[in-house]
Chains A and B, each alone.
Chain A
Amino acid sequence: MAQPKDFGFGAEERMVRDGARKLLREQAGIETLRKLVARDHREAYESAVQPARFDERLWQQMVALGWTALAVPEAAGGVGMRTIAVAALAEEVGRAALPSPLIATLIGTAVLRAAAARGCEAAAAWLGRVAAGEAVSLAATGTDGGWEPESTDVRAAATGGGVTLAGSAHFVQDARKARFFVVAAADTGGVGLYAVPADAPGLMIHPDRIVDLTRDQARVELRDVAVDGAAVVAPPGEGAAVLADALPAILAIVAADMCGAAEWQLQTTAEYARVRTQFDHPIGFFQAVKHPIVNMMIAVDRARSLTYAAACAVDAEPAEALRLARMAKAAASDAAAFCSDRSVQLHGGIGFTWECDVHLYFKRQQHNEALYGDAAYQRGRIAEMLGDR
């Protein structure tokens, strides 16, 4: 298989991207975001439980526009668009630093798709619910924070006709916004994947207190949660393979979110350097300011090119997808770190304050850098691939 030269980004994909950009610009601009999540620093960081606000009316609009159905195969009631469209959408969500369960849902969709592709009929039914607008989140990380499927702390036990799940999944993204979870749980036969509704008896959500104001995160505790056969999206022993199949898409989606956010950081910092005057010049006149902003652009462009290539490879060149996706995540994490650093520093004193919006993106990027492995982790895996050649 070979990749198309244009990354598979044709007229339909462009329509999705441009539509998303327009909607989010109009309804989820920076003023709206600030009012939604940063109106009060005490509420954000001092209240007993951090709020997990998002615009539910906008979410319903997103669902009506088919954003949750985008990556769901047609056979399961979705639109069945290629991963490049999903990445382009995630990039717009990142550009808006949008608080919503969409990124978690796109990731959950990638996992359910991988399960369905291996012939799991139950997965198709859950995909249909996503297409209809139910948010999903992956609950697969153990207390050690590892990204390998084996790191799950949830145990599965066969009981009668069903399965009982016990233990906790950690660092679950947008848990308070999700309608169901895809839980990785291990038994003697290996790791399996189970779809569990958020309101299942025995499922408890313990919100984490986090830095990022644009999402929520939680420990999802399962106190002997009983599920039936319809919940099994990957039987014991197949869960790791399904997660591995989905990993390139997952990495591309997170990288795309970071690319969008990094582009916002670049443009916002460049705008400030055009208007802020010191020593009788706009500060962008000074090369100590100008050159780092150019370096932000170079880092963002590298990450964007790799992200599109990774997303394209998921569908067009699966053998290359993981390598490109790890490269994309590494480049995007580095770009995010650098853009966050320079965006605050080059805004000077105001950049260090609550009233300047750059902190919202700084925090979202820092959160994203670690998700599914930071840059150094990805480079370690890439080195293994290089060495095996």
Chain B
Amino acid sequence: MSEQRRDTPEQAEFREYCRRWLAESKPAPPSFRLPITPIEVMTEEQRDYLCAWEKRCYQAGLLACDYPKEYGGGGHQGFQAVATAEMGRAGVPYLINVIGLSMAAPTILHHGTEEQKRRFLPPLFAADEIWCQGFSEPNAGSDLASAASPAVRQGDNWVINGHKVWTSLAHFASWMIMLCRTSTEHKHKGLTYFLVPIANTKGVTVRPLIKMTGETGFNEVLFEDVVVPDAMRVDEVGKGWTVAMTTLTYERGAAEGAGSGGGISLDARIAELVALAKRMQRNGKPAWDDPLVRDRVAELAIRVEGMRQSLRRMRVEALIDDPMRLPLQQKVQASELMQDIARAAVEIEGPYGSLYVGDERAPDNGHWPLAFMNSYGFTIAAGSNEIQRNILGERVLGLAKSK
């Protein structure tokens, strides 16, 4: 409960309110299975359940707390971190409009026009409009600035063509934040950022991509002469790379967006790992009696605590050397930790780790093998961890740019 001590009186009161509201409002678990994270949401019933929950959170004032009132926010300062922490503590469902809240909203707030802010932010917060992200292309992955999907100006409109991939939530999305090529003369300065309608739009085709888990949840999106008004352009023509960097700063967890929270904390994952190891047998004894298993779980627990303490230190100016040094590590740390926890669990399960979702003997209903495979989505997405290490080495340590 260490956050409480330095709360302002307003924050303390708000924290109390959040706790009370979450305790009263926590929804009953659904009768159907929810995927591990929002970017694996597949069915309409999953979507409807999660959208309804998110809308209630917004209406109760737990989302967009620190956004200006005129754009549908709460107009406060320092409230979102409180709400996010309390949602995490309450063990409530995660928020489905994750790309909207943590990526599109801050980008629109920083770079959008007054009309864009008024038009897009309120329905985004209320989960009335789901957002997706159109950055990666078949030939532009880690080298994102080589994105080639062209946008060509025609009077007051732009005509967009091209092919975006790995597009989480596109199958439910109303809108996409999209990086397009408006000039082939410059690589980075030839990019422009748009807000593009996806649902029921002439020329847009959304096709599911099947992940290695057998799940859908992400997609490829094809654009064929899609007409978008110039009013949907974010910031200046040729400024797309700068705007995309804002989006990526939030996507990589280096800054806080309009709200997140819910889902299962990493602490809870460690507790699950210990419980699993006590339950599973190894050489006729609980796996937890095996010193190598214990060493591994302890190592993961240390990394979880280390991440939490680094998040805390990030805000203490006197104890950091470079303002970006800790924030830029967050994505690498979190994604590799999730992967290693899941991998450890699969190994602790022994032969039971071979059992997948749907097998009645699968421990935790097959959660861990699924979580392990899905973890690669996070070590690859948002700039693979190899790219993140390049960025850390170049920006923080001043090493020569690899390319």
Contacts and interface: CB of A to CB of B under 8 A. Distances in A.
Interface of A: 2-7, 9, 13-14, 17, 270, 273-274, 281-282, 284-287, 289-291, 293-295, 297-298, 301-306, 308-309, 317, 324, 327, 330-331, 376, 379-380, 382-383, 386-387, 389
17 contacts: A3-B5, A5-B2, A5-B3, A5-B5, A5-B6, A7-B313, A9-B316, A270-B399, A274-B399, A284-B393, A285-B400, A298-B332, A302-B303, A308-B313, A308-B319, A327-B306, A379-B302
Interface residues of B, number: 49
A2 B1 contact: yes
B318 interface: yes
Contacts of A270: 397-399
A contact face: mostly helix, strand, loop, or mixed? helix
B301 A382 contact: yes
B270 interface: yes
Contacts of B291: 380
Nearest to A386: B274
A285 B319 contact: no
Contact of A383 (B298, B307, B399): B298
B4 interface: yes
Nearest to B289: A387
A338 B36 CA distance: 34
A8 B44 CA distance: 49
A274 B400 contact: yes
B299 A379 contact: yes
Nearest to B311: A305
A389 B274 contact: yes
A387 B302 CA distance: 14
B231 interface: no
Interface in B144-167: none
A71 B3 CA distance: 27
Contacts of A295: 389
B402 A285 contact: yes
Contacts of B1: 2
B288 interface: yes
Cβ-closest 9 pairs across A and B: A284-B399, A305-B309, A383-B294, A302-B306, A379-B298, A285-B400, A290-B393, A382-B298, A305-B310
Contacts of B187: none
B318 A9 contact: yes
Contacts of B306: 302-303, 305-306, 327, 331
Contact of A9 (B319, B326, B397): B319
Contacts of A291: 386, 389-390, 393
Interface string B290-332: 0100110111011101110110110110110000011001001
Contacts of A6: 6, 315-316, 318-319
Contacts of B295: 376, 379-380, 383
